């Protein structure tokens, strides 16, 4: 199976009890074997349900660490609220975290959010044995939570430590964002919002706090704000030496 096909489903199945059912039992697994198209992101309202994510678009973010405030954690809290995680024990999921970095040569420090960089050539997708890790045509890297066997090889392979493994049973989940014990997960770029024409919760929260450090947009559209800024400003790809061509860019570091 090719890795960059769009696996977003035709979304005739909104029924979450059905999704629950899929979580259990061998019969359901056999069903999954022949219907890998049934994935978690079955609420695609931004575009017509049968319309596939298009490769004309490449979703990305530009993060301005100059605007990102040390001590501000609004993007992280917003992400946790949106996607249903909290806590910072070593076993807790953290799809996004604030990283404080200090240049050892000149002593300069920066604060910035770090999350899945939505690589164009994602190592997590390359190593995933089942194909559960995949990249949509529009550049968003996701985990198909029904195919992930929880081997955690993707976590070993990701250079950004962007992925988390669900270590225990979860309660009170957002039905838009199914998560589950024993599977690996990461930032989805709030695909459920993006597909409805919105933007990631972190970007919204950052604007709401008045920092505007996170700019979301289409890197393929030369007229988008993000493309213009990437074209004119000095932006960085974190670990650019790895040649992964990430979708999340940084400015000011």
Partner 1 sequence: MNIDAFRKIEERAFYALAALLGLVVLIGLGAAHYMETHGHVVTGMTNQIVWGLPHVFAVFMIVAASGVLNVASIGSVFGKPVYKARAPLSALLAIALLAGGLTVLMLDLGRPDRLIVAMTHFNFKSIFALNVILYTGFFAIVAAYIWTMMDRKVKGFSKYAGFSAFIWRLALTTATGSIFGFLVARQAYSSAILAPMFIIMSFSYGLAVFIVVQSFMYAWNGLTLDEAILRRMKNLLATFVGAVFYFTIVYHMTNLYFAKQWDFERFILLDGGIFTTLFWVGQIAIGTLIPLAMLLHPTLGINSKSVLFSALLIILGGFAQLYVIIIGGQAFPLSIFPGMQETSTFFDGAIHHYNPSLPEFLLGLGGIGIALLITTIAVRILHFVPQDDFHHVSKDALTD
Per CB under 6 A, residues contacting ligand SF4 are 116-119, 122-124, 127-130, 132-133, 141, 143, 148-154, 158, 160, 162-163, 184, 186
Supply the minimum distance, in Å, between the C-beta of residue 105 and partner 1: 7
Question: Would you call 86 helix, strand, or coil by DSSP?
Answer: coil
- CB-based contact 72:209 (threshold 8 Å): yes
| Closest alpha carbon to 40 in 61, 22, 58, 24 | 22
119 binds, among partner 1, ligand SF4, none (CB under 5 to 8 A by kind): ligand SF4
Nearer to ligand SF4, 153 or 198 (CB): 153
C-alpha closest to that of 10 among 40, 51, 57, 46: 51
* List of residues contacting partner 1 (CB under 8 A): 1, 3, 26, 29-30, 32-33, 36, 76, 88, 90-94, 97-105, 114, 123, 125-132, 146-153, 155-161, 163-169, 181-184, 238-239, 242, 253
CB of 107 to ligand SF4, least distance (A): 28
| Nearest distance, CB of residue 61 and partner 1, angstroms | 17
| 100 token code pair | 């404080």
Least Cβ distance, residue 162 to ligand SF4 (angstroms): 4
Using only the alpha carbons of the chain, give its radius of gyration: 18
72 strand-pairing partners: none
Report how far apart, in Å, the C-alpha atoms of 180 and of each of 72, 141, 151 are: 29, 18, 14
Binding partner selected for residue 116 from partner 1, ligand SF4, none, CB under the kind-specific 5 to 8 Å limit: ligand SF4
Q: Which does 186 bind (CB under 5 to 8 A by kind): partner 1, ligand SF4, none?
A: ligand SF4
Rounded Cα distance between 117 and 238, Å, is 9
Residue 9 CA to residue 35 CA, distance in Å, equals 10
State which residue, 32 or 151, has the beta carbon closest to ligand SF4: 151
Q: Distance (Å, rounded) from C-alpha 123 to C-alpha 101?
A: 24
DSSP 226-243: HHHHHHHS-EE-TTGGG-
Minimum CB distance to partner 1 smaller for 23 or for 175: 23
Give 125 or 140: the residue with its C-beta nearer to partner 1: 125
Least distance (Å) between residue 53 CB and ligand SF4: 15
């Amino acid at each position: 199976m090719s890795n960059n096909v769009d696996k977003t489903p035709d979304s005739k199945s909104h029924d979450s009890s059905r999704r629950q059912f899929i979580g259990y039992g061998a019969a359901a697994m056999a069903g999954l074997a022949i219907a890998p198209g049934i994935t978690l992101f079955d609420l695609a309202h931004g575009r017509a349900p049968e319309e596939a994510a298009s490769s004309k678009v490449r979703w990305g973010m530009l993060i301005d660490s100059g605007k990102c405030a040390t001590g501000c954690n609004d993007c992280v809290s917003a992400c946790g609220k949106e996607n249903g995680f909290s806590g910072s024990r070593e076993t807790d999921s953290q799809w996004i975290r604030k990283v404080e970095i200090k240049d050892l040569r000149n002593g300069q420090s920066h604060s910035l959010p770090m999350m899945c960089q939505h690589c164009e050539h994602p190592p997590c997708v390359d190593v995933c044995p089942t194909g559960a890790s995949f990249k949509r045509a529009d550049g968003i890297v996701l985990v198909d939570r029904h195919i992930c066997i929880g081997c955690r090889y993707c976590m070993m392979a990701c250079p950004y430590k962007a992925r988390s493994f669900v270590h225990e049973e979860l309660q009170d989940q957002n039905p838009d964002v199914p998560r589950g014990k024993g599977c690996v997960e990461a930032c989805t770029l709030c695909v459920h919002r993006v597909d409805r024409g919105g933007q990631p919760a972190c970007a919204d929260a950052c604007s709401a706090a008045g920092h505007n450090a996170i700019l979301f947009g289409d890197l393929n559209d030369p007229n988008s704000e993000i493309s213009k800024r990437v074209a004119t400003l000095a932006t960085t790809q974190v670990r650019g030496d790895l040649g992964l061509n990430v979708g999340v860019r940084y400015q000011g570091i």
